Amino acid sequence: MITGGAGFIGSNLAIKLVELEANVTIIDSFIPEYGGNLFNLEPIKNEVKLNISDVRDEHSMKYLIKDQDYLLNLAGQTSHIDSMNDPYADLEINAKAQLSILEACKRYNPTIKIVFASTRQIYGKPQYLPVDESHPLYPVDVNGINKMAGEWYHIVYNDVYKIRSVVLRLTNTYGPRMRVKDARQTFLGIWIKNVIEGNKISVFGDGKQIRDFNYVDDVVNAILLSAQSDNVNGMIFNLGADDPINLQDTAKLMIEISDKASYELVPFPAERKVIDIGNYYADYKKIKSKLGWQPKESLKDGLKLTIDFYKKYHKYYWDS
Ligand SMILES: NC(=O)c1ccc[n+]([C@@H]2O[C@H](COP(=O)([O-])OP(=O)(O)OC[C@H]3O[C@@H](n4cnc5c(N)ncnc54)[C@H](O)[C@@H]3O)[C@@H](O)[C@H]2O)c1
């Protein structure tokens, strides 16, 4: 079962699992501001069970969780700005619903194995680089606080009730099926749209902020490795990349690939500046040593695959 399975990472995960002949049930609420998109499931629409429900609905979750072997728990409110404008919705989805999912597992399916998608956002502004799992947690926004609670509920239920759970702290993930019609999910989304339409990309500040990016197939692989291994239950892992890059160079790379568009440096919008984390890239040695995970796709190749996907299918992702 994949919560958030019609969203970006969840749908790519579902496609991979169908390829591996798993029986897949998808739970998604399709709240329009989030990343769920029916077209994401087009290649597997006849091969998965899709249940349109909200993880905040304790009654449906109790029923759905029964008889599942794995819960790949990806449903979330992902917008940092939205978490500041509507902190209670973020709290309900990213924290409270996680607790009720775990309660449902404890009661109705205690042998289930869970992988939870957490985020690098919970570290806040890095105190050193690269950021490893021992780095202090100091979220800079409400989303970071609630995701932190969400991941720690999983660890506590693993340790106290033996509900086997693994937590992955994802970094910026990109690839086909991400929300690109606006910058709600990530700035990369709107950049992709602008590049394809031949518009200017806006890079905030001096463009020197460093990030690490994972192509979605690499993240799917990390989720599957974590699900399969019982040696890592109760553990928290960073994902990361070998080729951190600043935002200005990322913009240049996208323009080079698309052979269209241009970029400009623009002042940081005030509401983004206050929650910006500066430079970030992760140390992912722990997951490499425990599970042998390592990202395979380079940023250049991954961006090319992504841009090609949206060139072909953009009408399913934005009106133009
Ligand atoms: N994409 C990234 O760069 C990134 C980085 C760090 C962490 N993550 C985490 O990975 C997970 C998946 O992210 P994504 O990028 O695929 O985002 P996404 O928005 O594309 O997917 C999330 C899915 O969850 C669904 N959802 C949201 N609230 C729901 C609810 N109450 N009930 C049922 N479904 C609900 C949405 O409809 C959406 O389809 C999230 O938990 C996110 O916090 C993603």
Q: What's the CA gap between 240 and 216, in Å, rounded?
A: 12
Q: What's the CA gap between 211 and 203, in Å, rounded?
A: 13
Do the Cβ atoms of 134 and 126 come closer than 8 Å?
no
pLDDT per position in the chain (320 positions), as tens?
Answer: 999 999 999 999 999 999 999 999 999 999 999 999 999 999 999 999 999 999 999 999 999 999 999 999 999 999 999 999 999 999 999 999 999 999 999 999 999 999 999 999 999 999 999 999 999 999 999 999 999 999 999 999 999 999 999 999 999 999 999 999 988 878 899 999 999 999 999 999 999 999 999 999 999 999 999 999 999 999 999 999 999 999 999 999 999 998 878 999 999 888 888 888 999 999 999 999 999 999 999 999 999 999 999 999 999 999 86
The Å distance, Cα 76 to ligand 1 centre, comes to 4
Cβ–ligand 1 contact at 177 (below 6 Å)? no
The Å distance, Cα 260 to ligand 1 centre, comes to 30
- Quote the tokens at residue 101: 């999912």
Q: Residue 9, SS3?
A: helix
Q: Which of 34, 64, 148 to mutate to test the pocket of ligand 1 (most atoms within 8 A of CB)?
A: 34
Q: At 91, phi and psi to the nearest 5?
A: -60, -45
The Å distance, Cα 95 to ligand 1 centre, comes to 13
The Å distance, Cα 200 to ligand 1 centre, comes to 27
Q: Considering the entire predicted model, what is its pTM? A: 0.97
Q: Which of 74, 101, 218 to mutate to test the pocket of ligand 1 (most atoms within 8 A of CB)?
A: 74
The DSSP letter of residue 39 is: G
The DSSP letter of residue 294 is: -
Helical residues (DSSP H) of 162-246, grouped into ranges: 187-197, 216-228
Q: At 78, phi and psi to the nearest 5?
A: -110, -5
Q: What's the CA gap between 320 and 317, in Å, rounded?
A: 9
Residue nearest to atom 2 of ligand 1 (CA): 173
Ligand 1 atom with the smallest distance to the CA of 30 is 37
- Quote the tokens at residue 165: 């759970």
- Quote the tokens at residue 169: 């702290």
The DSSP letter of residue 118 is: E
261: number of CA atoms within 13 Å, CB side?
A: 24
Q: What's the CA gap between 157 and 175, in Å, rounded?
A: 32
Measured between alpha carbons, how far is residue 44 from residues 23, 31, 177, 204, 319 in Å? 11, 21, 14, 38, 24
Contacts for 182-185 with beta carbons within 8 Å, 24 or more apart? 184/33, 184/34, 184/78, 184/79, 184/81, 184/82, 185/8, 185/35, 185/78, 185/79
Do the Cβ atoms of 3 and 13 come closer than 8 Å?
no
The Å distance, Cα 257 to ligand 1 centre, comes to 27
Q: What's the CA gap between 225 and 295, in Å, rounded?
A: 13
